[in-house]
Structure 1
Amino acid sequence: MAKGMGMFGADKGRSVQDYIDEMPVWADGTPVGYTPMTGMQWRIWWLAAFGKFFEGMVVFTTAVALPLISAEFGLGATEHGVIGAASLAGILVGALLLGGLSDTFGRKFMFVVEMILFIIFLVLLSVSPTYFWLAVFLFGVGVALGCDYPTAHLIISESIPSANRGRLVLAAFGFQALGALAGTAVGYAVLVNDPTVSAWRLMYAAVILPAAIVTVARFFITESAPWLFAQGRTLEAARETARLLYREPAYPHQVELATPAVGAGTPGHGAGASGWRELFTRRNRRATILASVPWFMQDLSTYGIGLFTPTILAAAFGHGTPIQHDVTDIVASQVLAAEGAALIDTLLIAGIFAAVLLADRVGRIPLQIIGFIGCAAGLLLAAMSHYYPDPGRTLLIFAGFMLFNFMTNVGPNAQTYLIAGEVFPTRVRGKGAGLAAATGKIGAVLTAFLFPILLADIGTTALLIGLALTSFAGAAITWAFRVETMGADLERLHQRAADDSLDTIAGAAREPA
């Protein structure tokens, strides 16, 4: 195995990322050629990945559970929209308020707190006595999941080598797609084995035990060393870096971090504007627009299609009826819709797999732009189905939705998440990523609430065309405010631009780290 110090030799006073990116050498002095991940780094990655899995599972379980909930509580169109939007509204609030707290209390602290909140509200959700409390508990679940948006990204990206950051962050994010597929599968399995209106409670309860296991495991990871360093807590940052990078044989042999320089942006060292206000300064305004606005455009369509695929399929194929009083009819209709949705959702997994392979090769910005255009093409393809009889109609709907799901995950659904955690300085990275996620969820909430109403008022075709136009707008905005961070050392990137605008960061990001 490797021996001794890596490419930095015995130099002292390096940054946290320098140590994380260090490549070891063999006993004969030959470089290994890559930076191997430690057990702690992989543990952090898996625990963050399961957080995304739970999000996809809970949010997309709602697509199967909604008709059963509606039947049990006798919901109208407005109440139906509230239930569909409740968890997304919670994600909005959680990302904005709780996610930003990771800049104050630390990544690890909020990483644990969010899972405790998630379990509490999940238990309450599964025993909801009324429509009102169901909406409240779904909102609470969403708050916990919203906190995970910035926190999970940051705790991974601030703990792993720069060269692997894109693919590993997106691989963890890809568990959202696996969770979406699992949510549909669990819903289907529960319906088949318990064909009653109250079966939706079991769908949500199935997540409680695995979530509890993940919560306990999160207590035993390291705190983000870059965050500690940005707080001026250099000795603690060095200790956590050594714990994060513990290997056999040991390298590095010791960790000695540079003392934060005046003007470096750490608290008490000339940081200038701080907190939420800093996101809108000249230096960070470009990042805020790039991270937030395309995410809003993307969530308008992704959550609309994701949450209501079963509903659209049922309506498109004539299985949906305005009112269904018979439990057998409701269950049978949702089983058919769940089967079709599961087939379409498999393309989410294919898309995120492609994103993992390409993010550190092609770059974030090209993939996001191409993905947006591909999403628009898929939506327009599905919209054209209105003008064709079966079997052409069925083929166009499935082809359009499958193309959309693939392109959204290879492009904007993955890249907006990745970009938001990279374009802000460490000290406000939680707030910046949280604001971006919250802005995206505004689009998701609007879609979840208005989609059933618009579906009834203007029809499927007009709605799909409208969503296609928002995808084209997302591509245009991404191009106008582009900043490529592929392979960049984020600490060095933002430090170099500390006294300049993000236009400098945009140029620096294209230079070798």
Structure 2
Amino acid sequence: MNEKSEVIEVDEYDSKRRKALEEIDNAKFGWFHIRTCIVAGVGFFADAYDLFAINIVSVMLAYVYFNTSSLPSNIDIGVKVSAPVGTLVGQFAFGILADHYGRKKMYGIELMIIIVATMASALAASSYVVSFNGILIFWRIILGIGIGGDYPLSAIITSEYATTKRRGAMVAAVFAMQGFGILSAAIVSVITLACFKSSILDNHTNIDYVWRIVLGMGAVPGVIALYFRLTIPETPRYTMDVELNIDQAAKDITDVLETGGYEERDNTQPFVQVDAPKASWSDFKKYFSKWENGKILLGTSLTWFFLDVAFYGIGLNNSFILEKIGYGKGTPFQTLWNISIGNIIINLLGTVPGYWFTVALVDSWGRKPIQLMGFTALTALFIVLGFGFNPIKDKSIPLFIFFMNFGPNATTFIVPGEVFPTRYRSTGHGISAASGKLGAIIAQVGFGALKDRGGAKGSNAFLPQLLQIFAAFMFAGLLFTFLIPETKGKTLEELSNEDQHDFVRKRTKVKDTL
């Protein structure tokens, strides 16, 4: 008799879980969804600003500390690669931590790291013990750790709250804030240069004020978003699938959908904790050792790796590329002004519209077709520009940026937040994102080592050949895209490749949280 009552209770909770998930997946799009996108998106605005401002700031540093338009190659590589190194660490570490401790507990911590490291970077100076560039590199590694944590957390929080119909657009909109962040870094540079124009023309070392302001402004959006990050509720999917508290998850869903907010939990009360698949090393190996699951992690990781080789190879070296196509010549002020204006043009023509084309089409066209189209276009463009650089060099860069963002740069971020079960969703996204940053690091080191090959220092003579190499990476990304599934119109549970009808199993037990 007791055995029968336990089975009935399990069936009841299994049904309650499926019903709660249906409520999230089919909910009417409302203010809570918009607020989630804004709170997550502001962080990505800050991330992109901080990451890509360095391609303008590095030229400023060269004028201030070395009286030339480019840093010594070892320092240039160190300054530019430091944040991606930290980002790789942050993506991997926060990806695991968010699955272990919860999304809410980790969200906001990474933003605090970004704020502190951004301000410290802007105030970096030489000391008797450590050189200026050593201090800057240290703080940009710390900055990168915070930025890295933002990738899995923002992606999965948005994904787990989104409706099935608009999930792609919501996650893409969060990521699209990168475009505005990159654009804003160039705009702030132009405004600050204009304010200091007379003093820079008198003495170009006054550029020291400019680069510090440009970097320091990256902390502003983080400060604005911090309170909202710290007060965002735990996602119902984490509550029911990892904390195994289906009653609380169902209540949170009702609160969020009816009122746009949620009530603070009373953690002193016992609750019914169901028995369901739990995260562990043995379970992780069991799940991903199945080819149907392992190939997806392989696909999301390698496609992001191949994409970031080119994306960061170009993105962190815009100043070199702009100089090569004629935007960076003249006095220190003219050079910096032209590079900043060139960045604004590139981002207005390529970066921003590329992201928002993805937002508009990702839920109707699908993630996989957009990614395949983007990698195909990028392969062709890199081949054409690599072998015909001089005739078309000043007309093609915005096209590259457009098809990266209306293509794999957006979709490689979206898909890993959808295709793994809740207990490994953050870990899977973190591994995929960290693979991308490994590609970024390799690209930056390789770009710095090879860009002048066959010419004088600062000539960027090897740039056409580098673009040809990037074409090979884009083609590899195209091939590995076939390992990932199309996620359009499917629930996160369908994509997890696990039987949802028997997800709650065996017996339930009462857990006292005291």
Contact kept, 8 Å, 2:245 with 2:273, in 1: the verdict is: no
Does residue 238 of the first structure (1) align with residue 250 of the second (2)?
yes
Alignment-derived partner of residue 373 in structure 1? 376
Shift in CA distance, 113/13, structure 1 to aligned 2, threshold 3 Å: closer
Task: Please give the alpha-carbon distance, in whole angstroms, between the structure 2 residues aligned to 1:41 and 1:307.
Answer: 33
Please report how far the alpha carbon of residue 101 of structure 1 lies from its aligned counterpart in structure 2 after TM superposition. Answer: 0.7
Q: Secondary structure at the match of 1:284?
A: helix
Shift in CA distance, 76/168, structure 1 to aligned 2, threshold 3 Å: same
Task: Please give the alpha-carbon distance, in whole angstroms, between the structure 1 residues aligned to 2:51 and 2:397.
Answer: 18
Task: Please give the alpha-carbon distance, in whole angstroms, between the structure 1 residues aligned to 2:166 and 2:32.
Answer: 16
Please report how far the alpha carbon of residue 380 of structure 1 lies from its aligned counterpart in structure 2 after TM superposition. Answer: 2.9
Shift in CA distance, 266/15, structure 1 to aligned 2, threshold 3 Å: farther
Task: Please give the alpha-carbon distance, in whole angstroms, between the structure 2 residues aligned to 1:385 and 1:414.
Answer: 28
Task: Please give the alpha-carbon distance, in whole angstroms, between the structure 1 residues aligned to 2:327 and 2:187.
Answer: 23
Task: Please give the alpha-carbon distance, in whole angstroms, between the structure 2 residues aligned to 1:230 and 1:148.
Answer: 22
Task: Please give the alpha-carbon distance, in whole angstroms, between the structure 2 residues aligned to 1:404 and 1:330.
Answer: 28
Alignment-derived partner of residue 91 in structure 2? 95
| Matched ranges for 1:273-284 at <5 A | 273-275=282-284, 278-284=287-293
Alignment-derived partner of residue 145 in structure 2? 143
Does residue 36 of the first structure (1) align with residue 16 of the second (2)?
no
Task: Please give the alpha-carbon distance, in whole angstroms, between the structure 1 residues aligned to 2:290 and 2:16.
Answer: 34
Q: Secondary structure at the match of 2:258?
A: coil
Task: Please give the alpha-carbon distance, in whole angstroms, between the structure 1 residues aligned to 2:311 and 2:259.
Answer: 41
Shift in CA distance, 319/352, structure 1 to aligned 2, threshold 3 Å: closer
1:181-231 alpha-carbon deviations (Å, 9 max, x no partner): 111111222222224331211011112233112001222221111011112
Which among 448, 457, 465 is matched to residue 462 of structure 1? 465
Q: Secondary structure at the match of 1:246?
A: helix
Task: Please give the alpha-carbon distance, in whole angstroms, between the structure 1 residues aligned to 2:145 and 2:364.
Answer: 34
- Mind listing any 5+ residue stretches in structure 1 that lack a counterpart? 1-10, 24-34, 251-258, 321-327, 500-513
Contact kept, 8 Å, 2:319 with 2:328, in 1: the verdict is: no
1:335-376 alpha-carbon deviations (Å, 9 max, x no partner): 112212221122111111111122111111111111011112
Alignment-derived partner of residue 362 in structure 2? 359
So what's the TM-score if we normalise by structure 1?
Answer: 0.82
Task: Please give the alpha-carbon distance, in whole angstroms, between the structure 1 residues aligned to 2:72 and 2:355.
Answer: 36
Does residue 153 of the first structure (1) align with residue 155 of the second (2)?
yes
1:299-340 alpha-carbon deviations (Å, 9 max, x no partner): 0001111121221121233856xxxxxxx8233212112212
| Matched ranges for 1:8-407 at <5 A | 14-22=18-26, 35-37=28-30, 39-74=31-66, 75-129=71-125, 130-194=132-196, 195=200, 196-198=206-208, 199-231=210-242, 232-247=244-259, 264-266=276-278, 273-275=282-284, 278-317=287-326, 319=328, 329-346=331-348, 347-386=350-389, 388=390, 393=391, 396-407=392-403
Contact kept, 8 Å, 2:91 with 2:434, in 1: the verdict is: yes
Q: Secondary structure at the match of 2:134?
A: helix
Contact kept, 8 Å, 2:110 with 2:147, in 1: the verdict is: yes
131-140 or 455-464, larger mean C-alpha shift: 455-464
Q: In structure 2, what residue type is equivalent to 1:361?
A: S
Contact kept, 8 Å, 2:421 with 2:496, in 1: the verdict is: yes
Shift in CA distance, 303/272, structure 1 to aligned 2, threshold 3 Å: closer
So what's the TM-score if we normalise by structure 2?
Answer: 0.82
Q: In structure 2, what residue type is equivalent to 1:209?
A: V
Shift in CA distance, 165/319, structure 1 to aligned 2, threshold 3 Å: closer
Shift in CA distance, 449/188, structure 1 to aligned 2, threshold 3 Å: farther
Contact kept, 8 Å, 1:43 with 1:221, in 2: the verdict is: no
Task: Please give the alpha-carbon distance, in whole angstroms, between the structure 2 residues aligned to 1:16 and 1:92.
Answer: 35
Contact kept, 8 Å, 2:305 with 2:438, in 1: the verdict is: yes
Quote the sequence identity (%): 26
Task: Please give the alpha-carbon distance, in whole angstroms, between the structure 2 residues aligned to 1:283 and 1:260.
Answer: 30
1:20-50 alpha-carbon deviations (Å, 9 max, x no partner): 1345xxxxxxxxxxx232x333222111011
Q: In structure 1, what residue type is equivalent to 2:439?
A: G
Q: In structure 2, what residue type is equivalent to 1:219?
A: L
Shift in CA distance, 131/428, structure 1 to aligned 2, threshold 3 Å: same
Please report how far the alpha carbon of residue 468 of structure 1 lies from its aligned counterpart in structure 2 after TM superposition. Answer: 1.2
1:395-448 alpha-carbon deviations (Å, 9 max, x no partner): x22332111111111110001001111111110111100000000000111122
Q: In structure 2, what residue type is equivalent to 1:310?
A: S
Alignment RMSD: 2.6
Contact kept, 8 Å, 2:95 with 2:428, in 1: the verdict is: no
- Mind listing any 5+ residue stretches in structure 2 that lack a counterpart? 1-14, 126-131, 201-205, 263-271, 455-461, 502-514
177-186 or 204-213, larger mean C-alpha shift: 204-213
Q: Secondary structure at the match of 1:274?
A: helix
Q: Secondary structure at the match of 1:197?
A: helix
Contact kept, 8 Å, 2:420 with 2:495, in 1: the verdict is: no
Shift in CA distance, 48/495, structure 1 to aligned 2, threshold 3 Å: same
| Number of corresponding residues | 451
Alignment-derived partner of residue 10 in structure 2? none
Q: Secondary structure at the match of 2:234?
A: coil
Task: Please give the alpha-carbon distance, in whole angstroms, between the structure 1 residues aligned to 2:353 and 2:448.
Answer: 28
Shift in CA distance, 272/438, structure 1 to aligned 2, threshold 3 Å: closer
